[in-house]
Structure 1
Amino acid sequence: MKCPRTRTPLKKVSVGKVPVYISEACGGVLFENQTLKSFECPNDKRGKALATHLSQFHSELADLKERVSCPLCIDTVMLRRFYSPLHAVEIDECPGCGAIWLDTGELEKLQSLMLSEKDRAILRHELMKEHEPIEIKGAPHKHDNWNRRSDKIDALFDIASYITRGW
């Protein structure tokens, strides 16, 4: 596999038994499908170790907005999207295999945005209070009591049926 930015070979490294592919030429890293979640927490040893290791290969790239091809799916162009609703870190993601490419320094930015579990719980609670369902009650409608009326109508039909049978 080759680095999508520099076209140099990627080096496979296992960080806490999770394989990632790094580019020693530009400091970028490729995560296979769903493995980025193992490195996004800044307090996790695995995430710190990878960020520290990548920082030694930091280099400036000409144009980060340039679209790149997936190293795993060679004929597939990766999509550019924001990783979080804060729109702070833009990542490259393969629509075919789900691999994610982070350019130099993006892992540290991503880790700096992650909240601790306590902060997430507080934010979740505040959002739930802010977005509680609102109950809307309208004016009563003249047909709201139809169920009671139908009982009366059924009784009326029963009486009419009884009377007509008797004749």
Structure 2
Amino acid sequence: MVVQFNLPPLYLLPQSQNQPVALMGFNAQERVIYMNCPACSNPLTLKNVGNLDVDVCENGCGGIWFDLLELKKVDEPHESAGEALLDIPRNPEIKVDFEAKRKCPHCDGITMMRHFYSIKREVEIDECPNCGGIWLDAGELAAIRSLFQSESEKKAAAKNLYNRAFDAELKILGARAEQGTKNPTQIGLALKFLSPATE
């Protein structure tokens, strides 16, 4: 049986590059595309860790590209596959502008969004709004892995932040709603006083 994939033009292989990397959802033996580092423009190299194929800027800036949902598999300290990604070989002569807006290495011409990875607001990441891929600069994976020990700890912290942020607001809204129910009664009594024949 022959399986044929009809892929949009952004998946076409550029002829000038020479480092294959896996296409999201495929392993390197099935289909490859070529990507350059969004931080230093070096070719990204495919690295297999555990059951993941991630793209790294080896001997460049040391950054890592994760396709959609791949980072979730290595973002906690107990996930051993992530350990192999903590020390990507870097070229110390390569300087990275951390303030520059970055283009997604996977999607043609799409600027990535920069935001904090978690509610702790300690690590900023670059995420593509089109494909959901995430770019981490050198050292950011280690910082992310130190934020929470588990998914349940991460969820508890998010719930705690939500409660702190909205409890006071909900109390104010509740007080306003309670006061609002008194006002119609007061208006009704005033109308009754002005027009006693309405009984």
TM-score by length of 1: 0.69
Q: Counterpart in 1 of 2:138? A: 104
1:57 counterpart (90, 102, 110)? 90
d(CA) in 2 for partners of 1:31 and 1:43? 19
Residues 70 and 76, structure 1, Cα contact 8 Å, conserved in 2: yes
| Amino-acid identity (%) | 36
Residues 67 and 78, structure 1, Cα contact 8 Å, conserved in 2: yes
Residues 83 and 91, structure 1, Cα contact 8 Å, conserved in 2: yes
Matched letter for residue 96 of structure 1:
N
The offset of 1:13, in angstroms, is 1.1
Question: Cα–Cα, structure 1 residues 121 and 107, in superposed 2: closer, same or farther, change >3 Å?
Answer: closer
**Deviating runs (4+, > 3 A) in structure 1?**
58-62, 116-131, 133-136
d(CA) in 2 for partners of 1:128 and 1:8? 41
d(CA) in 1 for partners of 2:160 and 2:99? 35
d(CA) in 2 for partners of 1:62 and 1:99? 20
1:74 aligns with 2:93: no
d(CA) in 1 for partners of 2:120 and 2:62? 24
d(CA) in 2 for partners of 1:9 and 1:108? 23
1:11 aligns with 2:37: no
Residues 30 and 102, structure 1, Cα contact 8 Å, conserved in 2: yes
1:40 aligns with 2:75: yes
Q: Tell me, what secondary structure is at the counterpart of 1:85?
A: coil
Unaligned runs of 5+ in 2: 1-34, 183-199
The offset of 1:57, in angstroms, is 2.2
Unaligned runs of 5+ in 1: 142-167
Q: Say what the alpha-carbon RMSD is for the aligned residues.
A: 3.0
TM-score by length of 2: 0.58
Q: Tell me, what secondary structure is at the counterpart of 1:113?
A: coil
The CA deviation string for residues 61-80 of structure 1, in whole angstroms up to 9 with x for no partner, is 34211111000002101111
2:55 counterpart (1, 8, 21)? 21
> Which structure would you say has the larger Rg?
1
Q: How many residues align?
A: 141
More contact order relative to length (CA 8 Å, sep ≥ 6)? 1
Residues 78 and 149, structure 2, Cα contact 8 Å, conserved in 1: no
The CA deviation string for residues 17-52 of structure 1, in whole angstroms up to 9 with x for no partner, is 211000010100000011100010112111112213
Matched letter for residue 41 of structure 1:
E
Equivalent residues in 2 for 1:114-153 (5 A)?
Answer: 114-116=148-150, 119=153
Residues 68 and 78, structure 1, Cα contact 8 Å, conserved in 2: yes
